[in-house]
Structure 1
């Protein structure tokens, strides 16, 4: 086995190469990341500069500094030779020695410490998956990351080993307060479970309760009947219509209006006005609850819609509802 250093260029600075040869089976070379003036390198060794006889003190000082750097360079090459000899003597049977192997020894890959905070690990997860996930999936995962970021604004930093059943319950309650749909809540926890499992596979400690954070959570079948009942285009929607839909389908008033805006049923301007009115009651207190109504509310929905759109007068609507006008006014709330 022979290890030698050489240069191939006559230009200054020239890169220094290392070559490993062993019989006819091994002949590999690679750059050492070191450079030198070709005039100061001969037969695989660094040559020191000579001090001229008539050199003044300043010139002598400069040459001595330059030679000190050359001495350090030679020590680095000697150290690399010792390292390569040790790696070659302790290699595994059948290990291939080539330029790629040499380059890994000369420039070992830096091991980066994995982030322990859940939000930071999202970035690592996306970076490691960028070649296997399509752009749309990555975009969706970033949405879940931003949702976790919002949660941390009020609950503090979440670490991977803290993701347990207690955290899952806290996150679910937060999602409820923020009026996220049930399926969004379930999907958020499932994505977090996937990210935490990825961290576990990479050696980070996780909670023993991690596998159970989504236990018992199932997706609900969504219904768009409430949107069909609102119609294709609306200039005004009564709060009663929204409460009826919420009681029947279990979808928040705010989620219905957001969906109506996305589908173009109402204008952005109307939706902004609705949000301003709801700003002080995001929990939707006194705005009904999901009770799983089995009887049809179709007539009442149409009645409230007609009154809201001024298709019929309130007195006419009250008459159709078999209520006195004062009673109907109390029940009817226009947004």
Structure 2
């Protein structure tokens, strides 16, 4: 009961932090004028794919789709909801075991939703290629099983500091399995799937009942839970991007304020009402034009938007270079 309460407290706290971060980035104006038109356009395009308005999607080779899915598989991450304060409870193995089981079910549910979205996006393309609804559902179940085994094996490799080539070979094996599912090769699919399931059971044996790598698991969990905020801070230049190299690259004159200067320029640009209102008018107009314009006339819309963006960037850069604040940053960065 205590483990379940701890698990739900940590998950709810994590989700609230993620939601607060998203709200700081996307306010109601960005959602109304940017996200909402994009969602409408994406839904309309998805319906058009089901109607067969984009037959060229059926001509894309299965290998390219397999590469795309393999790249998404490589991005899958797993972790356990155990924190450093729980180390005093290692003697109480039942609580650690319960937290591990809850973590597994959390990631299982997350993978079901994630791969369900993948199958929904691929469903019209598979339907164009002649697959029935039952075959598409079977493909989704097999793809989920393959992705789950791959994520589980990669997590065990990370715990044991496995060599990078082992991880790459596992990705290649999963890629072959995805390609076999796409080309509907039953024999190859069963062979790859059996290998993945067997290896997943082998590397995960005793993981719930034994805790030899509990410190490593806590470290991975903290890193993965903070990955979204860390990416935002490093992108904005608030913190320096860490290097995983044993011998980091030698930079005699680091440009520490380059990213900060670019990020602040973007923020100042979009916080200026005239610039913001310009794009709040151009983006819905561009989305509407792409929907209504016939055939190749759609190409004119992004070309025009890129031209406007280039002109705005050039004029705003010249304006900011004359600003005393940015001149002081430039002098501090060059000193």
Task: Name the TM-score class by shorter chain.
Answer: under 0.3
Q: Which has the higher contact order (CA 8 A, sep 6+)?
A: 2
Larger radius of gyration: 1
Select the structure that is richer in helix: 2
